[in-house]
Structure 1
Amino acid sequence: MKGLVNACLQLGALVGALSCSAIGDALGRRKSIFLAGLLALIGQILQCPAFSLAQFIVGRVILGLGIGQLSVTVPVWQSESSSAGKRGRQVIAAGIFICVGFASSSWINFGLGKVSFQPIQWRIPLAIPILFSLVICFSIFALPESPRWLLNGLPRDNEHVRSEISRIQRSLEAVQGASLRDIFATVGGNLISIYTTAIFEDNLHLQGDLPQILAATSLTWKLLCSFIAFAAIDYLGRRVVFIVSGTGMSLCMVVMAVATSFPASNHAASIAAAVFIFMFNLCYPIGFLGGNFLYTAEIAPVHLRVAMSSISTANHWLWNFIITMITPVALSSIGWKYYIVLAVLSASVPLVVIPFFPETMNRNLELIDLVFREAATIWDIVPMARSLPKGDSRTEVESSGEKDAEIGRVEQREVA
């Protein structure tokens, strides 16, 4: 039942993410974000005063609808409205605020757990996020609409449109792509974030306040480590942070499997498991705090961006639903072997990134698109992308389709 109640939010988010493929481009970015904030607000209002499990679950599903729509629309809106040099850090900043939410909620839960009046212990933590949903609903229309969405569908030969496109291309790199979200959702992030207290209590057999204190401390540590991603995403590049993060998470899960395989009386093994929960919270945000969402938005073409983000984010929430649903059962039935499954999934990240995912940092992404079209095989994409020019003096690629009947011919010119 614990897994079902937790997972119903992910199920709602799955539906919410898929709905963006139908309404995202029709409503625009700001209206979509407003609708998502409104749905989240309705779900929170239903959850907070719930006097039955059915009402609570309905509230979580509606809240999930809003969260799913936000997880699709916000990264797209950020990537379309940010300059090329700031895009990575601005998307990562959103992930940092997610870590703030996890850390603060765990400390709030710990503090209110000391209150003798039981309804206050869980109703107040559910009421606090209402304030943030109100902020979204009341502030979003004070912010600018995505310039790319405004220009989408207008005739390209219009002089004003051509001028505006040229201006945007100097400040924003185009976006073309694929996604890591399907991998990200299966590497154990939800396990460590949602079930940390349960791991300390049920797997490591800690007692009293210690499990909650350690869980809250580990999530606070995760928040601090998230600033590594903020610094690294536009310095080391997307591929490096994905590879380092996936490798580190896999090693942490292997150690967790070994440590939790010993009897609870083995004090050293329990300490090792606790330490590597903290190590996991170091490795996870380096690559998957928001870099995976950024990469999705960077690789999708403008006219397919919302649809592709919608599908990939829906897949993300589907795997989150599965992980959240099965984790309590898996921990109680197969125990330490569950960490082996997650270790293998984490290890798949570098194995996929190294041969298939081209670097997008400091590359003109129209040229990346050209690489995808001209590569003879999928094995040629990464080497070809590696040879592309980098830096502020970049090559802008323009299709000469209207001037030439020959499809695929491109013209390159240096942009000052």
Structure 2
Amino acid sequence: MYTITNIYMLAAFGTIGGALFGFDVSSMSAWIGVDTYTDYFGSPDSNLQGGITASMSAGSFAGSIAAGWLSDILGRRYALMIASLVWIMGAMVQCSAQNVTHLVAGRVVSGLAVGVTSSQTCVYLSELAPAHIRGRVVGIQQWAIEWGILIMYLIAYGCVVGVHGTAAFRICWGVQAVPGLILFIALFFFPESPRWLASQERWEEALDTLAIIHANGDRHDPVVQVAFEEVQEAVRVVHESQDVSFLALFGPRVWKRTMCGMSVQMWQQLLGGNVAMYYVVYIFEMASMTGNTTLWSSAIQYAIFLVTTGFMLPFIDRIGRRNLLLLGSVACMIVHFIIASVMASKGNPVPNVNGNANLTWEIKGNAGMTVIAFSYIFTGIYGLTWAPIAWIYAAEVFPLKYRAKGVGLSAATNWIFNFALAYFVAPAFHNIQWKTYIIFGVFCTVMTCHVFFTYPETVGRSLEEIDLVFEADIKPWRTNEIGDNFGQETERRRDLSAKMDIGGTTHEVV
């Protein structure tokens, strides 16, 4: 069978798993202000709407917890294939929803699939990608999420304006099955992760996969040889130790990595991205937008999100993880406090906004345009920094033995906070209005300190070399001082190979 070997092609198809998450986000956000949806489902109040929106995150939490176990037993590829089939089932259940309970059930089923794909796609791509481009390859996962958000939002918009009755949202939710089917078929042509193959002692297959990914099939290429030796050493350590439980992730030599992986996913949510993604329609309605204008303004925000992340991907392995996380948290903190101050000083309480009783605060005129402008700015900053980096960093920090379960637990952290915030934001806009942004601004302040003092730099290092970074007794803000052993060893072997080619032999001791 033909196997896809180009790493960018693998990333393009593999990150359809991220697009599934994006599809589900905007499949709901586009409908919360549309009469067809609200009338059919009994005009859900802010608490019920929060529950409907958050139900997908609840399923994703459960899926993320199970993902590590599934991926370790069956392999990264088969875990993603199973998730694709579950996603298709979830889309069918949502498409046929007859009431709120039926809809929530469909979103939970879809969430189970997203929990697996959101964590194990990162694991899979990080284990395939060369160290010097790993950030941009794994970062494509986040870009795919954003493509999914925008594409589904535009499909939903087309259904809102062009389809009458309940068929509008049924078509929208049914279309979600298409990317799941594409991913399922594409995975038949994907190689398995070389690190997972090695963990199963399928050494020849692991070496072949490393060769076709890194050197067009040349097993003797220095990059392939050094990578294979590192994988062998990592597997040796795995076999000398006991099986991994979730409790083991908090053991003496691993807990710092687990805290980094879990907290970077937690902070990504507490940065406030859910405000911009799930409830963007609410924000624009409070700023006095109505009808199709609100929908198109929301689409512009999703397009900004897509463009900024796409712009950053080519540079993401040059700037460094810490720098982008710190820049993003500080900038988003400033934006949140500005939006809160504008809403507090220029807005006023109202019984409802354009008949929507879930909203009790209004900002008109230039002040409303200012809120919209800074919402766009926030989305751009988020797309440049925390949106892609959180997934990349969580996929890098765990050693082979702990990687599948560790990234699964990190993704579960993302989803449990995603659930909490998806549920919280709608009632927050109703009850505390502009103070919602103060809360997110404070979160940004705390995460800035946490990142600076506890997150070591991982950019440009092999996954096995990152182990040395965490084991070194050096402050996180000084980890760039640790040498690049992988790169140095690769260059040494290339120089040695060149000498042998020229002289036919060498007396240098290897």
- Which TM-score tier does this pair reach, normalised by the shorter chain? 0.7 to 0.9
Structure 1 residues 367 and 132: alpha-carbon distance in aligned structure 2, compared to 1, 3 A threshold: closer
Q: Deviations over 1:373-402 (max 9, x none)?
A: 241xxxx33255221224973358xxxxxx
Match status 1:387 vs 2:481: yes
Structure 1 residues 339 and 169: alpha-carbon distance in aligned structure 2, compared to 1, 3 A threshold: farther
Structure 1 residues 51 and 125: alpha-carbon distance in aligned structure 2, compared to 1, 3 A threshold: same
Question: Which of 398, 418, 422 is 1:320 aligned to?
Answer: 418
SS in 1 for 2:161: coil
Task: Work out the number of aligned pairs and report it.
Answer: 393
Aligned to 1:37: 84
SS in 2 for 1:188: helix
Mapping of 1:93-112 within 5 angstroms? Answer: 93-112=140-159
SS in 1 for 2:61: helix
C-alpha separation between the residues in 1 aligned to 2:223 and 2:335?
Answer: 47
Aligned to 1:167: 224
Structure 1 residues 391 and 124: alpha-carbon distance in aligned structure 2, compared to 1, 3 A threshold: farther
Aligned to 1:404: none
C-alpha separation between the residues in 2 aligned to 1:344 and 1:25?
Answer: 38
CA contact (8 A) 1:184 1:292 kept: yes
Match status 1:183 vs 2:240: no
Between stretches 86-95 and 126-135, larger displacement belongs to: 86-95
Match status 1:58 vs 2:115: no
C-alpha separation between the residues in 1 aligned to 2:465 and 2:422?
Answer: 39
Match status 1:272 vs 2:370: yes
Structure 1 residues 64 and 172: alpha-carbon distance in aligned structure 2, compared to 1, 3 A threshold: farther
Give the Å deviation of 1:166: 7.9
Unaligned 5+ runs, structure 2: 1-47, 211-218, 235-253, 348-361, 495-510
SS in 1 for 2:288: coil
Structure 1 residues 265 and 126: alpha-carbon distance in aligned structure 2, compared to 1, 3 A threshold: closer
Aligned to 2:240: none
Give the Å deviation of 1:268: 2.0
C-alpha separation between the residues in 2 aligned to 1:273 and 1:199?
Answer: 8
Structure 1 residues 204 and 13: alpha-carbon distance in aligned structure 2, compared to 1, 3 A threshold: same
Aligned to 2:501: none
Give the Å deviation of 1:250: 1.3
Mapping of 1:300-319 within 5 angstroms? Answer: 300-319=398-417
Aligned to 2:70: 23
Amino acid aligned to 1:242 = L
Give the Å deviation of 1:266: 4.5
C-alpha separation between the residues in 2 aligned to 1:222 and 1:171?
Answer: 38
Give the Å deviation of 1:82: 1.3
Aligned to 1:71: 118
C-alpha separation between the residues in 2 aligned to 1:309 and 1:172?
Answer: 24
C-alpha separation between the residues in 2 aligned to 1:134 and 1:116?
Answer: 25
Structure 1 residues 40 and 30: alpha-carbon distance in aligned structure 2, compared to 1, 3 A threshold: same
Aligned to 2:280: 196
Aligned to 2:136: 89
Structure 1 residues 365 and 51: alpha-carbon distance in aligned structure 2, compared to 1, 3 A threshold: closer
Match status 1:216 vs 2:263: no
Match status 1:10 vs 2:66: no
- What's the TM-score once normalised by structure 2's chain length? 0.72
- What's the TM-score once normalised by structure 1's chain length? 0.87
Aligned to 1:338: 436
SS in 2 for 1:73: helix
CA contact (8 A) 1:46 1:59 kept: yes
Unaligned 5+ runs, structure 1: 397-412
CA contact (8 A) 1:371 1:384 kept: no
Between stretches 212-221 and 64-73, larger displacement belongs to: 212-221
Between stretches 116-125 and 4-13, larger displacement belongs to: 116-125
Amino acid aligned to 1:289 = A
Structure (1 or 2) with the larger CA radius of gyration: 2
Question: Which of 96, 121, 139 is 2:186 aligned to?
Answer: 139
Aligned to 2:323: 240
Question: Which of 135, 149, 170 is 1:123 aligned to?
Answer: 170
Aligned to 1:281: 379
Larger relative helix fraction: 2
CA contact (8 A) 1:257 1:337 kept: yes
Structure 1 residues 194 and 147: alpha-carbon distance in aligned structure 2, compared to 1, 3 A threshold: same
CA contact (8 A) 1:368 1:385 kept: no
Match status 1:225 vs 2:304: no
CA contact (8 A) 1:42 1:63 kept: yes
C-alpha separation between the residues in 2 aligned to 1:172 and 1:267?
Answer: 64
Amino acid aligned to 2:118 = S
SS in 1 for 2:437: helix
